[in-house]
Amino acid sequence: MATIEEALEIERLERDIFRGASTKTQLPRTFGGQVAGQALVSAVRTVEPRFQVHSLHGYFLRPGNPQEPTVYQVERIRDGRSFCTRRVTGIQDGAAIFTMSASFHVGDQGPEHQDDMPDVPMPEDLPDASTTMTPERLWAMREWEHWDIRMVPQENVSRRDGVVSQQQVWFRYRHLLPDDPLVHVCTLAYMSDMTLLGSSKVIHPDEPTQNASLDHAMWFLRPFRADEWLLYDQSSPSAGFGRGLTGGKIFTRDGKLVAAVVQEGLIRTMRED
């Protein structure tokens, strides 16, 4: 399967128009993390190097065809001294499949605080997915063979009072990535769509549903490396009307909070037809 470099590869067609590569996949539609990651790479290519991504907000409008490339049109909404903003639209066959706003910041000084990382088993104390060959894990391992993903068993999840549906996942990219911080940011944007919607199904394990990401928001808070272990602390505060709201905090293994994610997804009861 595709490496992250292949999955995020884009070609510049015009000053603000890019084409993202299609990659080998088992999925019937383009993986949402790949679309978001390619859109973010496109936006990054239009800003000065002194600006770093600090947030993105995207909507998945139509399923993408994984056999076809996606064209990304970037709009330069604002270029300021401290912040700049880009809007990106992903297009296939003349129709928008994804739209995203991304904001960039040069960085400033100010007060600092963060939540504590939950007390969970360390990744080396959990089995590699390749050693737990259930059909679901085998399928996922093939699709994302370049990622080491380790689920914290539900009996070991660090519980919080009043939080109804929780899931915790350790992950890292298996291969060494370049030192460029933007490479790690775009890699994490790709990865952030993986497993998150599953937190809405934790307390409904036997209910068959049709699942798809609807929108995705992400904030990058501190430097990190995507080829080192990161803990994705996920929860779903609400589900109803065929939609599930999910959120996640991403920590380094030494407890630094490096990103936050909120996503709503389709979890519609399967219909007989």
Q: Given pLDDT bands bounded at 50, 70 and 90, which one contains residue 134?
A: low
- Cα 138 to Cα 59, 143, 162: the distances in Å are 29, 9, 34
Instruction: From the candidates 22, 73, 193, 199, give the one annotated as an active-site residue.
Output: 193
Known catalytic residue at 263: yes
235 tagged catalytic:
no
User: Which of the following is catalytic: 165, 199, 213, 234?
Assistant: 213
* Residue-level pLDDT at 132: 58
pLDDT of residue 130: 62
pLDDT at residue 142, rounded to an integer: 79
Q: What is the pLDDT of residues 45-61, one digit of tens each?
A: 999 999 999 999 999 99
> Residues 189-216: pLDDT tens digits?
999 999 999 999 999 988 899 999 999 9
- Annotation marks residue 193 as catalytic: yes
> In which band, very low, low, confident or very high, does the pLDDT at 129 lie, cut at 50, 70 and 90?
low
Residues 13-27 pLDDT 10s: 999 999 999 998 888
Please tell me the total number of residues recorded for the chain in this structure.
273
pLDDT of residue 128: 79
Q: Per-residue pLDDT tens for 220-234?
A: 999 999 999 999 999
